[in-house]
């Protein structure tokens, strides 16, 4: 039987330590930017964060799958009962632009579902966490509050929707057109989920590619705050540890 509280403490500590290393690089003159095979950027901050988190979590003897770690074949990971799923720096483009809207993400997966999530925004000094059946929380400086989602009705007027007016694809635009006078709310990285978790937005449609490590930690927080994350089309529960780690399109709802 795992000790979820102890694992949460370890994950929070790992995220905070990774944030310290990320901030050091954020304040430097050279991010040493590389381009990965999918054309997404990679910086020394991504690598430094990965190292800190990996070295913290390896002590738990639970397998680790990280965006910046080694590839692990499905034949090996498909039988994992528990594993850590990490995105050491979500929002690398935001990091490069220095707008502060990037995060360190650590999730614990049981079977196919995230049961614990920690998301830390180092520049903003926002630390979010949530565990299955124990609620979701946000820590800013020395204040910690419990957070909860709204309970939106998709037919109501003026729903707050997380989206970017400058990067709307056809599917997202079609969804927005199905709503009544929605209000657009913008944010970078996995913080989009957390606007819903906090009740500052009602929903977040994502009809563009993401990977499992992009969403797991924030999904755990949203669900601990009372929300849901559905794959689209069909509104089924989002699952993890698939053979292909690419996520389907999804909808985050309060």
pLDDT tens over the chain, length 254 residues: 889 999 999 999 999 999 999 999 888 877 666 666 655 656 788 889 999 999 999 999 999 999 988 889 999 999 999 999 999 999 888 888 888 899 999 999 999 999 999 999 999 999 999 998 899 999 998 899 999 999 999 999 999 999 876 668 899 999 999 999 999 999 988 999 999 999 999 999 999 999 999 999 999 999 999 999 999 988 999 999 999 999 999 999 99
Domains of the chain, CATH where assigned:
4-146 (3.30.540.10), 160-253 (3.40.190.80)
Cross-strand pairs, 131: 116, 135
Closest to 24 (Cα-Cα) out of 43, 5, 3: 43
Question: In the chain, what is the straight-line distance between the N-terminal and C-terminal CA atoms, in Å?
Answer: 31
Tokens of 170: 């056809």
Q: What is the C-alpha to C-alpha distance for residues 240 and 166, in angstroms, rounded to an integer?
A: 30
Would you say how long the chain is, in residues?
254
Q: What is the pLDDT of residue 39?
A: 54
What DSSP letter does each residue of 94-148 carry, written as one string? HHHHT-S--EEEEEEEETTEEEEEEEEETTTTEEEEEETTTEEEEEETTEEEEE-
DSSP sequence for 45-68: HHHHHHHHHHHHHGGGT--EEETT
List the one residue out of 208, 211, 200 whose CA is nearest residue 254. Answer: 200
> How many CA atoms does the CB half-sphere of 95 hold within 13 Å?
33
Placement of tokens 């994992």 in the chain: 80
Structure tokens at 227: 């929300």
**Residue 89, helix vs strand vs coil:** strand
The whole model's pTM is what? 0.94
67 and 85 Cβ atoms separated by less than 8 Å: no
The DSSP string of 185-228 is E---TTHHHHHHHTTS-SEEEE-S--BHHHHHHHHHHHHHTT-E
Query: Would you state the pLDDT for residue 165?
Result: 64
243 CB burial (10 A radius; 0-12, 13-18, 19+): exposed
């Amino acid at each position: 039987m795992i000790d979820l509280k102890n694992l949460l403490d370890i994950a929070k500590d790992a995220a905070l330590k990774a944030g310290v290393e990320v901030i050091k690089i954020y304040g430097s003159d050279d991010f040493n930017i590389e381009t990965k095979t999918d054309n997404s950027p990679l910086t020394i901050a991504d690598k430094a964060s990965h190292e800190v988190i990996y070295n913290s979590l390896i002590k738990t003897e639970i397998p680790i799958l990280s965006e910046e770690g080694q590839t692990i074949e499905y034949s090996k990971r498909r039988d994992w009962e528990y594993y850590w799923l990490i995105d050491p720096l979500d929002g690398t483009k935001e990091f490069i632009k220095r707008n502060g809207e990037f995060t360190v993400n650590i999730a614990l997966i049981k079977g196919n579902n995230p049961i614990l999530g920690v998301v830390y925004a180092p520049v903003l000094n926002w630390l979010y966490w949530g565990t299955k059946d124990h609620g979701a929380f946000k820590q800013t400086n020395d204040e910690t509050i419990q957070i909860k989602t709204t309970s939106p009705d998709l037919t109501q007027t003026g729903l707050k929707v997380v989206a970017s007016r400058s990067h709307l694809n056809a599917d997202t635009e079609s969804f927005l057109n199905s709503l009544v006078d929605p209000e657009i709310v913008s944010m970078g990285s996995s913080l989009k989920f957390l606007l819903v978790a906090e009740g500052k937005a009602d929903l977040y449609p994502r009809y563009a590619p993401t990977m499992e490590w992009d969403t797991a930690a924030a999904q755990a927080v949203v669900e601990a705050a009372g929300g849901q994350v559905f794959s689209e089309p069909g509104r089924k529960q989002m699952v993890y540890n698939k053979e292909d780690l690419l996520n389907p399109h999804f909808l985050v709802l309060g």
